[in-house]
Every structure is written in C-alpha cells, then in structure tokens.
Amino acid sequence: MAGVRNISEARRIVIKVGTSNLTDSNYRLEPRKVEKLTREIVELKKRDKEVIVVSSGAIGAGIGKLDLKQRPRDIKMLQATAAVGQNVLMSTYDRYFTSHEQIIAQVLLTQEDFFNRQKYLNLRNTLITLLKAGLIPIINENDTIAVDELKVGDNDNLSALVASNLEADLLILLTDIDGLYTQDPRRNKNAEFISVVEEITPEMERTAESGGKTGVGGMKTKIQAAKITMNAGIPMVIANGGAENILAQIIEDVPVGTLFKPKKDKMNDKAHWILFASAPKGRIKVDEGAKTALLKNGSSLLPSGIIDVENEFMCGDPVSIVDSEGIEFAKGITNYSSAEIEKIQGVHSREIEQILGRKGYTEVVYRGNLVLV
C-alpha cells in the first residue's frame, strides 16, 4: 500500500463493520469479536484519529437474544429481531468501549436521511459535533423500519455515503475475506488477489457477488461503495476484520487488504450528492436534440427539449433525466414541479411566464444542478 497514498496521514476514518466480524457461526453476537474491534478502534483514537463506526449486526444480536434457530425470512420478523438486537448490540459496544473510558453515541439512519439535501447537511453538522466532543458515533442502519435496506443490506453504501458526507480521509470496510479477488476465493482456488484498484472495470462489477449467510450485502455492494468514495476523492480499503491489529496495519501502510485509489478529479459536494445520495422523485424525458445539448455542449435543460414527465414531484426535487428510449443519462434538481413541466414542455423559455402566470426560471434544470450519469 505504501507509495500509493500515505494512508497514515488519514485523520477522519469511517469504519464499516460487517455482521461476520461481530457474530459467530450461529449468527449470534460474539463478545470476543466486539472486544477485539473496540480495542483496535481505541488504539486509533490514541493516535489522534477521528473514528466513525457504521455497524451491522443488529439482526444477528437479535437472533441470539431471541434464541432463534436461523435468520428470519419474513420482513416483519426481521424488523422485530432488529429492534431487539439493536439494544443488545449497542449495550455490548458500550460495555467494551466504557472499559477503555471511551464514550460512544448511537445514530440511527436510513438512506432517506441522505436523499433530502437539508437532512444531509444537518447530518454532517451532528456528526462533526460528536467528533469534536471526542465521541465515537456508532451508526446503524435503522433496520426496524427500513424495509428496502433490509432487503438490500446496504451498510456498505451507507458507510460510503457517511464518508462522503463527512469528507473523511479514509473508509475501511471490514469483512470476512482478505479483500477483492478476480473470482470468489471460496469457490475457485485459482482466484487471484487484487491489492490495488485504480479503476472499477465492468468485469469487476460482473464478477462481484453478493452473499454471506448473515450479511445480505456482499462484494457487489462493496464495489458500489468504492464508486462513491473514489468519486469523492476518498481512498477505501477492504480488509479482513478477523486479522489481529488489522486497523493498525492499515494505518501503518502495511500491505493488507485491497486499496481503492481515489480519483484525482473528485466531484464537488453537490454533484456527488445528486449522483449518489439523492433519490429521483420522478423522470423527465427529453428529445435527441436536448440529449445532445446536455451531453456534448454542457447546456442546461430547457423546456423546449422535454417530451414527457413521469411521476409527481415538486420544485427543488432531484429528478432523473432520460432519453426518448427511457434510458437515464443524467440526474439533476428541477426548478419546476411535474405539474408545471407538463404545461411548459416543448415550448420556448420566453413563453414560460405567459403560460404559468409568473416569471420563473429560464431552465427546467440548471447546468450547475445537473450531473451526467
């Protein structure tokens, strides 16, 4: 890892802990693993690092507390199990961190907290306040209510969004394998280890598999997380959380895990939010002329190039911009509601005031609020 980037200088570090790093083979929370993790995190704090933990394991902890024989498949039972396990998980973290005189703070999130731009900024302020107070925020996906997240198990992406939100210096994804391979090493003994990734290729995305008995997300979501951090200018490391002193090894530039190098031309904060964190409320369909103007000329989206609008949305909402075939090629923040766009689509900008009865924006989506996909 040395020579690629001086990881040792990273001060604000987000650590995502996978379910396998907290539970035993029967999916039950294993105190020994929690003790190891807390000890290594406290060591980072002693090196004057700011640490944010994004933790899985609530469902696993609930399985143990309820003495279930297997992971529930029913969504309602999963939610109930998570509600029980959340308390067990946090009390276990608190017990071990307290033994090191370290105070923690629980933050429950879903991806919805990132979709709203104001919530996104408020979250940053809250987390920075906790860090300045010397606390360790432990962020959990709110599995009790987050039905979609339970299906996807997207703590990998959640941790990447947290890292981007905080402009972190490093994201570490702890899992149960050593890093990224050309193929699944548990299925193919000829799989080759990849120590450094400078660009995510289509082949990597194809071979990345989701899996694991306790965690729903696998290598597929870790590749997605890498896309988010690389575009935000943040290095990401996938490493085996079971290895002794793994966090110290990463910080000391020992060649462990897989390093995903950040892009030099990182996106600005707003563009990154539009592309990765916002959830489009609707779709605006445009003709070929408008598509060309957006892709090649760096233009804003004008009403004259719009041919259709789908779903209801309000002014200021994020929207998906698609071509005549329905293929998304851009995302942006709209200056007009879906109802207003239906009235002005296909007309020249100078006609907007006459049609809507007020003087509005010339552009439906201003270029500064638009990102190509």
pLDDT (tens digit per residue) in 250-297: 999 898 999 999 987 777 888 888 888 778 999 999 999 999 999 999
pLDDT at 151: 39
pLDDT at 213: 39
pLDDT at 150: 37
The helix or strand, by DSSP H or E, that contains position 215, with its residue range, turns out to be none
DSSP 122: H
The tokens for 182 are: 């050309």
Instruction: Write the CB contacts of 16 (distance below 8 Å, at least 6 apart in sequence).
Output: 53, 54, 55, 56, 155, 156, 158, 159, 171, 172, 173, 174, 225
CA separation for the pair 78, 324 (Å, rounded): 41
Domains of the chain: 7-271 (3.40.1160.10), 280-372 (2.30.130.10)
pLDDT (tens digit per residue) in 194-231: 999 999 888 888 777 544 433 344 788 899 899 999 99
Burial 182-212 (b: 16+ CB within 10 A, else e): eeeeeeeeeeeeeeebeebeeebeebbeeeb
Instruction: Write the CB contacts of 149 (distance below 8 Å, at least 6 apart in sequence).
Output: 110, 111, 141, 142, 143, 158
Per-residue pLDDT for the chain (373 aa), expressed as one digit of tens each?
Answer: 333 357 888 999 999 998 889 988 777 889 899 999 999 999 999 999 999 999 988 888 898 899 888 888 888 888 899 899 999 999 999 999 999 999 999 998 876 788 778 888 899 999 999 999 999 999 987 766 655 543 334 789 889 999 999 999 999 999 988 999 888 777 778 888 999 999 988 888 877 754 443 334 478 889 989 999 999 999 999 999 999 999 999 999 898 999 999 987 777 888 888 888 778 999 999 999 999 999 999 999 999 999 999 999 999 999 999 999 999 999 999 999 999 999 999 999 999 999 999 878 999 999 999 999 8
